[in-house]
Amino acid sequence: MKKHVTLVVGLLIVVGMSSCTKEYYDVVPSQTFVYRINQNGWTWENNVSHQVYHTKTLPELTDYYLLEGGVSVAISFDNENSYDVLPTTFNGVAYSVNYTVGAITIFAEDPLADPGIEIPLPDAAVVKVILSESDFIREF
């Protein structure tokens, strides 16, 4: 009788284990780029005192990331102890980002866009750009 019970239990274990399926998920990779903007790395536009900008070439930012993937940009003014995701306002200056294939541009401007105000040049900052792949479904 013990032999039959052992055989049945063993058979149930084998059948039970073979019916389990493991699910594997593809990991969607991301790329992170970190760089520093020194105070002299900002550019004034002609006759515009309320806005400065900084453009960084990023060849890895391809059509794919522009149209289907994800682009996230954050800025740190405390030597990477913390980051603010753009857009953000920090010390009375509004920061935003624009990206195209191959480049990102960060803007620092007066939040009210008052042409009579000259914003101070931002302190040195560290910028983090994250390019993420995603499962693009379709446009809504």
- 51 contacts 112 by C-beta, under 8 angstroms: no
**The predicted structure's pLDDT at residue 1:** 56
Residue-wise DSSP of 20-45: ----------EEEEEEEE-GGG-EEP
Residue 20 domain-assigned (yes or no): no
Residue 138 domain-assigned (yes or no): no
* CATH number of residue 105's parent domain: 2.40.30
How many independent structural domains does the chain possess? 1
Structural domain span for residue 115:
30-132
- pLDDT digits 0-9 by tens, 64-98: 999 999 999 999 999 999 999 999 998 889 999 99
Residue 12 domain-assigned (yes or no): no
Residue 4 domain-assigned (yes or no): no
Across the range 3-31, mean pLDDT stands at: 62
**The predicted structure's pLDDT at residue 19:** 55
Which one of 6-10, 68-72, 135-139 scores highest in mean pLDDT? 68-72
pLDDT grade for 32, boundaries at 50, 70 and 90: very high
Q: pTM (2 decimals)?
A: 0.76
**The predicted structure's pLDDT at residue 47:** 81
